[in-house]
Chain A
Amino acid sequence: GENVEQHPSTLSVQEGDSAVIKCTYSDSASNYFPWYKQELGKRPQLIIDIRSNVGEKKDQRIAVTLNKTAKHFSLHITETQPEDSAVYFCAATPGTGFQKLVFGTGTRLLVSP
């Protein structure tokens, strides 16, 4: 089955800096890669996703890149703000059948003012 690894487990940056979180996946047939943000005590919420037919997607300060050959994808946050502090999860879903999101172990991002 699919296995998703995520690095780093914690990331501390200064406000205004960029943050990058990386994930690798094992199933070459996976074709949908969402990123979820979970604030302390809250539910995970989708912030951006990418499908295997594109290599990059941007939404304001957030971007995701996908390298299918290397089986890895990354989340990039520019101009970080304290409210970006949260746990971020990457996920992958197998290429066929019903959606079965397999999550990475999460990255705790701390943005200091």
Chain B
Amino acid sequence: DAGVIQSPRHEVTEMGQEVTLRCKPISGHNSLFWYRQTMMRGLELLIYFNNNVPIDDSGMPEDRFSAKMPNASFSTLKIQPSEPRDSAVYFCASTPFDRDTEAFFGQGTRLTVV
């Protein structure tokens, strides 16, 4: 398996624009997580899905952020409108079981909002 695949790897956008980040989890994994990493706040959990259903979105910063998982092999994280403070590395991770298991991270998307 190629692992968790994220796209794009880098994204530079202007403030106010819509940004969509994409993730393909490892086949057979039933849980998917979106994390945001910044120097100031480390790795923050934004939202996670189990069997395509959002379980906990309490980490989503505000209504400008939304995430979907239409099927077991694809998830998106959308920011609309984007702001400079959204600049960060966004990681997607998937796990094969419901708990107590390794999380496999994608390569991340480095987002820069100017």
A interface residues, Cβ below 8 angstroms from B: 1, 31-32, 34, 42-46, 49, 51, 89, 93, 97-106
Tell whether, in the assembled complex, residue B106 and residue A32 are in contact, meaning their CB atoms are under 8 Å apart: no
Query: Which residues does B use to contact A, with CB under 8 Å?
Result: 31, 33, 41-43, 45, 48, 50, 55-56, 58, 91, 95, 97-103, 105-108
- Classify the interface of chain A: helix, strand, loop or mixed: loop
* A-B contact number at CB 8 A: 55
Contacts of A42 in B (CB 8 A): 107
Judge whether B99 and A98 touch: CB under 8 Å.
Answer: yes
Interchain CB contact under 8 A, A100 and B56: yes
A106 x B42 contact (CB < 8 A): yes
Residues of A contacting B103 with CB < 8 Å?
Answer: 34, 46, 99, 101
Q: Among the listed A44, A49, A98, A105, which residue makes an inter-chain contact with B98, where contact means beta carbons less than 8 Å apart?
A: A98
Contacts of A103 in B (CB 8 A): 42-43, 45
Residue of B nearest to A104 (CB): B42
A52 to B45, CA, bound (A): 22
In the bound assembly, the distance between CA atoms of A105 and B100 in angstroms comes to 20
Name 22 A/B residue pairs within 8 A (Cβ), A-sorted: A31-B100, A34-B102, A43-B91, A43-B108, A44-B91, A44-B105, A46-B102, A51-B100, A89-B42, A93-B99, A97-B99, A98-B31, A98-B55, A98-B56, A98-B99, A99-B99, A99-B101, A102-B45, A103-B43, A103-B45, A104-B42, A106-B43
